[in-house]
Structure 1
Amino acid sequence: MHEICIRTATPDDLGGARAVMLDAVYRDFGTGYVPHWHADIIDPERFYLAPPRHTLLVAVDERDGRVAATAALDARGPAHPPNPRPLAERYPSGETAQLRRVYVRPEHRRRGLARQLVGELMEFAAADGDYRSVYLHTDPASPGAEALWRSLGTLVCDEREEGPGGGQGVLHFEIPMP
């Protein structure tokens, strides 16, 4: 296995982190960049480095210095719309640590990087002291995502079960606080 260093992102890491994130939304999700959904990808410093209760982690391949994976956490709960209203009420902003942008480059997958990054984010959330829950949503089309999140948390809403026109097909999870 390659030597990987997991650390809090610095401004010097943002170009590499942005590349990993954009690659995921184009390749894995097929949506491409959508400004309303992905503003944090273009400006991760404002969303993740500046606010004290937010963070962005990177996993850097020490062989070539490239960002191999990303994972972020912020205090913004799921917005309604597009998410179901009961989720927005259950996971309010300020009290909810939302995991975001847990993406791993294809050549680094299946090595436990996402799980390690999530572990670090969970420690960050616990150390904050004011988060009462950890929430995330994922696209089940993302390779390995559904299995990872089912192994780490509880599925609280499966929009695939809402029938035609009843949702976005997104899976919503709660991860137990450490």
Structure 2
Amino acid sequence: MQPYCIKVATENDLGSARAVMLNALYRDFGTGYVPKWHEDVIDLTGHYLTPERHVLLVAADEEGAVVATAALDSRGPRHPEWLVERYPSGRTAQVRRVYVDPEHRRRGLARALVTELLAFARTDGAYHSVYLHAYRHSPGALDLWRALGEVVWEEDDVVHFEIH
């Protein structure tokens, strides 16, 4: 892995982090910004910087440009009911917004970011499980998540994981 600086995001990083996220939503997912799904991308401070049990990580290249993001919050899945009950908000660490700019992919950066998120979740003490969902068409995502956890449910386009 080339030299990257992985750190907890500060207010100064938020514009660049948001750009990485929005680029992924438009380029990789084709959905663009959808308020009911992506409200956290606009309010990064309220979702990740302010709450004590939440975190937003960024990875910067040698020039200091943010090239990847990863976040963790205490909000479990929204549906279906059985998944909400299995991964309740407050006791579930949800991995979110793991995005790497295309020119920096395949270098272990996403795995390094997730390793840091998992360390953060372990220090919290109140999290009982780590959950995430990924889209089948997300570049490289399913291979990473299968290596780190197990599938708990598959939908047409979404795969839900519990991370060990």
TM range (shorter): over 0.9
The 5 A counterparts of 1:1-178 are 2-62=2-62, 64-80=63-79, 84-160=80-156, 169-176=157-164
SS where residue 151 of structure 2 aligns? strand
Q: Deviations for 1:60-80, whole angstroms, at most 9, x for unmatched residues?
A: 012x21111000000000012
Give 1:171 shift.
0.5
Query: 2 CA distance for matches of 1:106 and 1:157?
Result: 28
Matched letter for residue 159 of structure 2: L
Using the aligned pairs only, state the percent identity.
Answer: 66
Which structure 1 residue ranges, 5 or more long, are not aligned?
Answer: 161-168
Query: 1 CA distance for matches of 2:82 and 2:25?
Result: 26
Which structure 2 residue ranges, 5 or more long, are not aligned?
Answer: none
SS where residue 30 of structure 2 aligns? coil
Report the TM-score, using the length of structure 2 for normalisation.
0.98
Report the TM-score, using the length of structure 1 for normalisation.
0.90
Q: Deviations for 1:90-132, whole angstroms, at most 9, x for unmatched residues?
A: 0000000000000000000000000000000000000000000
Query: 2 CA distance for matches of 1:145 and 1:106?
Result: 13
Q: How many residues align?
A: 164
Give 1:85 shift.
1.9
